[in-house]
Structure 1
Amino acid sequence: MGEQAEAVSLPHEGRVAFVTGGVSGLGFGIARALSNAGFRLALSYRNEDYRAQAEAWFRAEGREVPVFVRLDVTDRARFAEVAREIDVAFGRLDVLVNNAGVSVFGPTDTATHADYDWIMGVNFGGVANGLVALLPLVKRTGRGSHVVNVASMAAYLSGPQAGIYTASKFAVRGLTESLRTNLAPEGIGVSLLCPGLTRTNAWDSAFRRPEAFAQSGFEEVDKEALTAFGKAFELGMDPLEVGEKTLRGIEENRGLIFSHPEYAEDFREIYEASLAALPDEEAPPERLEIERLRREANRAAASGQVISLADLT
């Protein structure tokens, strides 16, 4: 008789992660990376075909099938239900990945309220809703748990066709950086994930615009032009690679996770332009002291201290 195969111990076996939009694209790449490391999963979805394809992958790999929850991330009542369902299924939540989003582009100067409400509602509101609904369970799980908010390189880089999209990602960036200092005293990590071009279907969000937000100020979607634009995504990074880099960022408790290396030129320009924009003059000692206190408070918060408004003046 052959020897029995030795059981493989996975680094995160028994831990639980929830990924919004986790059945396709980047979310599915993150979900597979987490599953490969031993996480049990809950994944949200809206498209039944994508859910079925994701389930087929887990079954083919001999993995535990995730708990699939149908969810529109703008639906706060449903998010609260999902939080209870995850609690009932697992009794804990070690990693929350707020990933679901839409990639919609158009000139900001013609945008309507519907354009703002849809893009900001999903990309920023979806993250906020996830935090409100799931942070109590993450905090109950305790030290060593982690939150990942998925933004984009658009959290740093703006463009002429991406004003509202960029605004939503800038907002996620600011929220995440602040949340990291809030949760540090509890031993809970927070990361901002900013991927670059990734091989996903994110480009086709405009084809799935909800009727409630139909009154757009952008030009009518040119399917041929948008599909041609989408071909660029075929050159993007494999979503699984982004997922693996995300997992490493979680393990190392990095506040900022960059998956793509090709942005040094952009950051150099931002740095140089920012320094050049500062007035070339002396600041009064009183203001310098306030800024010194702010920097000290930020460093203290990052090290795990609880900071109040009194620490800033």
Structure 2
Amino acid sequence: MAGKTRDFRGKTAFITGGTNGIGFGIARAFAMAGIDLVLSYRKEQDREDAARWLADNGVPPARYVPLDVTDRARFAEVAAEVGKVHILVNNAGVSVFGPTDEASYADYDWIMGVNFGGVVNGLVSFLPGMKAHGEGGHVVNVASMAAYLSGPQAGIYTASKFAVRGLTESLRYNLAPHGIGVSLMCPGLTRTNAWTSALKRPEDFADSGFAPADANELEQFGTAFELGMDPLEVGRKTLDGIIENRGLILTHGEFAQDFEEIFRTLIEALPNEPVPEGRLHIERLRREANRAAAQGQLIGLSDLT
């Protein structure tokens, strides 16, 4: 959790979308570290496959709860049912792409509702209990490298991941005084079936501005995912990040060129001109407050002026 430890006996993790893909990669790494698992799922086949893997590998069985992460009432029920949780992993998401300028309200509502709203629902449902039990803990919000890298086919998806990034970075300051660490986990290309999301569009969001999903085109897109990292490796790196209480967990190493370009663009966009002392003073206070918050100090508005 918020301190460095590898002893997870008696600790429970709740993982949304925890029976397949990256979620199950994280679940497997946690299980092998001795963490008790509660996994949410949508498909019965995924639940059965997950249970079989855990049994075949000699780790204790998980508890499973059916959950649509956009269903706030059900989320509240689940939080009450599962009891004490020490590690919350908000992982469930959809990968849906299309030209942003053609998107409908339904496209925004579906993608943002799952990818950002699902994280919000997990936090609102589980944080009160995590703070109340007083045993510390950790929150991992799974985003994507799209939290830093944008592209022409991923406008809403990117917006959802940027939102998760901003929320997570701020939340880390809020939860430090409670002994709860917070990490933003941004995986790159991973061997999953995330590309099938567009084929599972709920009827309530059928009025899309994007062209109908073409199964053959999506299958070709899916071949890229076959080159991705093993989800278990992503899970192990996530666990290491929790142990080290890292605010940012990057699992893939192939993005140095992108980050260098982002850094250059930001620095070059800053006006090269004198800055009034008053503004400099306010920014110094902001930095000092952030450093204090990261060390566990409660920060109020009065600390910023």
Unaligned runs of 5+ in 1: 1-9
For the residue of structure 2 that corresponds to 1:237, the secondary structure is: coil
Deviation at 1:230, TM superposition (A): 0.5
Which of 197, 200, 220 lines up with 2:192 in the alignment? 200
Moved more, 72-81 or 218-227: 218-227
2:100 aligned with 1:108, yes or no?
A: yes
Deviations 1:27-76 (A, max 9, x none): 00000000000001100000111111111111222322211000000000
8 A contact 1:17–1:41 mirrored in 2: yes
Match of 2:167 in 1: 175
Q: Given the alignment of the two structures, is residue 40 of structure 1 paired with residue 32 of structure 2, yes or no?
A: no
Shift of 1:143: 4.2
Stretch of structure 1 that moved more, 10-19 or 178-187: 10-19
CA contact (8 A) 1:23 1:51 kept: yes
Distance 2:130 2:190 in 1: 28
| TM, length-normalised to structure 1 | 0.94
Give the conservation status (yes or no) of the 8 Å contact 1:104–1:165: yes
The question of whether the paired residues in 2 share the 8 Å contact of 1:180 and 1:255 is answered with yes
> Is there any run of 5+ residues in structure 2 with no aligned partner, and where?
1-5
Supply the distance in 1 between the matched residues of 2:255 and 2:56 (Cα, whole angstroms). 37
For residue 118 of structure 1, the aligned residue among 110, 128, 135 is 110
Report the alpha carbon displacement of residue 285 of structure 1 after superposing the two structures with TM: 1.1
Indicate the residue corresponding to 1:77 in structure 2. 73
Matches within 5 A, 1:11-90: 11-87=7-83
Structure exhibiting the larger radius of gyration computed from Cα positions: 1
Q: Percent identity?
A: 68
The CA deviation at 1:23 is 0.2
- How much is the aligned-residue C-alpha RMSD, in angstroms? 0.9
How many angstroms apart in 2 are the aligned matches of 1:14 and 1:234? 36
Offset, 1:280: 1.3
Alignment correspondent of 1:5: none
Higher RCO, Cα 8 Å, sep 6+: 2
3-state SS in 2 of match to 1:44: strand
Where has structure 1 moved over 6 Å in runs of 4 or more?
A: none
Q: Deviations over 1:216-247 (max 9, x none)?
A: 00111111011100110000000000000000
Question: Which SS does the other structure have where 1:157 is aligned?
Answer: coil
- TM-superposed CA distance for 1:141, in Å, is 3.1
Deviation string, structure 1 residues 273-309 (Cα, Å, up to 9, x no partner): 0010111111111111111111111111111110001
Q: Does the residue aligned with 1:12 lie in a helix, a strand or coil?
A: coil
Q: How many residues align?
A: 300
What is the aligned partner in structure 2 of residue 7 from structure 1?
none
| CA–CA distance in structure 2, aligned partners of residues 136 and 291 of structure 1 | 32
Q: Please, which of 134, 138, 153 is the counterpart of residue 145 of structure 2?
A: 153
1:187 deviation in Å? Answer: 1.1
Deviation at 1:110, TM superposition (A): 0.5
Aligned partner of 1:301 in structure 2 is 293
The answer to whether the 8 Å contact 2:130/2:136 transfers is: no
Partners of 1:278 and 1:13 lie apart in 2 by 49
What is aligned with 2:3?
Answer: none
1:53-105 deviations in Å (ceiling 9; x for gaps): 11111122232221100000000000000001111xxxx21100000000000
Partner residue, 1:260 = 252
C-alpha distance in 2 between matches for 1:302 and 1:141: 21
Decide which of 278, 281, 287 is 2:270's aligned counterpart.
278
1:134 aligns with 2:130: no
Report the AA paired with residue 42 of structure 2: R
Q: Which residue of 2 aligns with 1:229?
A: 221
1:188 to partner: Cα distance: 0.8
Aligned partner letter, 1:145: G
Q: Counterpart of 1:30 in 2: which secondary structure?
A: helix
How far apart are residue 186 of structure 1 and its match? 1.2
